[in-house]
Structure 1
């Protein structure tokens, strides 16, 4: 679903005309073209419309996500859901099948590393993970410039703690906690990720 299609769906569910939907945020003629996918809309105008009409932003973004996400990322998202379901049902065969499909992805290296560690932990084979794989995971983590602000690096740390030496882990956790203590305006998703890291 495109942004225009999603806006039209929301407008119709609210029983609004296009003019009522725009609320003088943008011209009705421009809005009409947005709904028909002829023109785009700025993020500023889009969020003004969503907030003005109390439209759930998370649900709106979820409804358009697949249209604006690469096929590879959509596939990775589906594989992640399948793998979580396989873990939750202790379906070893399904877990291994998902891992094989994940490793065939062209991109999503961090997702691949996270899946490798999760499956090795699930199978009780973490000690059999190659030294080269361990080094590559730590190297990938160290490649992030500002890892404390990057959701991918936080996910990698949370899922792959076992490949770090105790000294590396201690330094990273100390740095992370000190960073997040300094200010209070961190996004909720990052706070959740830090909590998962601390829990692990």
Structure 2
């Protein structure tokens, strides 16, 4: 049982509504998402809620399904964040390999270490451009790893977002449809951010595979997400793909002009390496 589920269980047993249960300690809208496992609650707020409702702290935590390897998982997640940042650098592969060496030296659960190394090898693999150098066994192993994960949680979808290119466009379109159905029933933490990443990567694939007529569905899906400052870059890149895809239908130069402005903004915003990669992509595929 998770923290959100257990809090809800105690609340219902006490016959309280959410407002009574939290007593102003956190906002009701925030707490509602805690029960749904969309938001995490801080330790201080959790203890205050437990004390307010007379719930013994020891009893509460004994009922939780806490993964004894959580500290190791947190450490691996931080290293994965380093890898994501390294992917945007000029020396991406060298930096990722250094992170791999860090993981090899960590005192981790063997299964966790094996999984972490597999994922890191996947990042290195996806930096390859020549199909003749692809490690097909590794790619198959990664696809199986993602497929075998039991549910669409934040970790699984983040992993999938990074390894979109292991699947072709049509397969990804089917996966996105399935993901959308699941998330409608059970939202997850960082859902909007991860969906943006997935859709942008799949749109890039659609351009490469000339599947322009199949992109409306996923563009409409992501257009439903409210744009907040944190998502501005994602929204800007979505516009880039929308303009590029529309250009392939009507050939109006206005779309090309907008694409170029967006790519220039990457350089102005300090994302020079990413901007250069996207410019190469643009130059290669704009007239295909």
What's the TM-score once normalised by structure 2's chain length?
Answer: 0.40
Match of 2:217 in 1: none
Write the distance in 2 (CA, Å) between the matches of 1:115 and 1:136. 13
Match of 1:172 in 2: 175
Quick one: which of 155, 165, 174 aligns to 2:158?
155
Structural mapping, 1:17-36, within 5 Å: 22-23=51-52, 25-26=53-54
What's the TM-score once normalised by structure 1's chain length?
Answer: 0.54
Write the distance in 1 (CA, Å) between the matches of 2:190 and 2:143. 23
Distance 1:193 1:101, change over 3 A: same
8 Å contact 1:72–1:107 — kept in the other structure?
Answer: no
Q: Which runs of 5+ in 1 are unaligned?
A: 1-5, 12-17, 35-39, 44-64
Alignment length (residue pairs) = 151
Structural mapping, 1:1-200, within 5 Å: 10=44, 22-23=51-52, 25-26=53-54, 40-42=58-60, 69-92=69-92, 93-102=94-103, 106-108=110-112, 111-122=116-127, 124=129, 128-145=133-150, 147=151, 149-180=152-183, 183=184, 186-200=187-201
Distance 1:188 1:124, change over 3 A: same
Kindly state the Cα deviation for residue 111 of structure 1 after the two structures are TM-superposed. 4.2
8 Å contact 1:114–1:160 — kept in the other structure?
Answer: no
TM-align CA RMSD: 4.1
Distance 1:134 1:87, change over 3 A: closer
8 Å contact 1:99–1:119 — kept in the other structure?
Answer: no
Q: Which runs of 5+ in 2 are unaligned?
A: 1-41, 202-288
8 Å contact 1:151–1:190 — kept in the other structure?
Answer: yes
Query: 1:141-173: per-residue Cα shift (whole Å, max 9, x none)?
Result: 22234x4x3333312221111112344223212
